[in-house]
Amino acid sequence: MNELYQHLGKLFYAVAVSDGSVHPKEWGKVREIVNDDWLIIDDYKDQYGTDAARQIEIVFDGLMEYGKTSEECFEEFRVFYKEHAYAFSDEIISLTRKTANAIANAFGGKNKSELIVLGRFELLVKK
């Protein structure tokens, strides 16, 4: 589960940075949804006893420091999804969709870059 959450952090970062920068409102939305939704989805803990869903925030925050591109992060998520599609329940996909859209709407509504990443996600998870 840690790896799943880490890659979700990459996807959410790919949405936020798709227009060239991460606005503080987008980062705030990530933290809000992790606290309100992701922490209640399961009881998995990492090796330090921290709720595994916190990996979303940890990875997202780290990516802001390293400055990876949206394309790089989406591609890493895509590869992970292709290899581990079985780990993405309908509930996880639905919450991922909700989170990605909320991030895109957090600052000034969805722009073209964000819509492209969201569309790519939808095509990827289409069953």
Position 104 pLDDT exceeds 80:
yes
pTM for the structure as a whole: 0.94
Q: At what angle do helices 90-105 and 24-36 cross, to 10 degrees?
A: 150
Query: CA-CA distance, 100 to 94, in Å (whole number)?
Result: 10
Contact 107, 23 (CB under 8 A): yes
Mean pLDDT of the chain: 94
Position 94 pLDDT exceeds 90:
yes
Residue extents of the structural domains in the chain: 2-125
- The pLDDT assigned to 127 comes to 66
Query: CA-CA distance, 11 to 5, in Å (whole number)?
Result: 10
Query: CA-CA distance, 22 to 14, in Å (whole number)?
Result: 10
Coil, helix or strand for 89?
A: coil
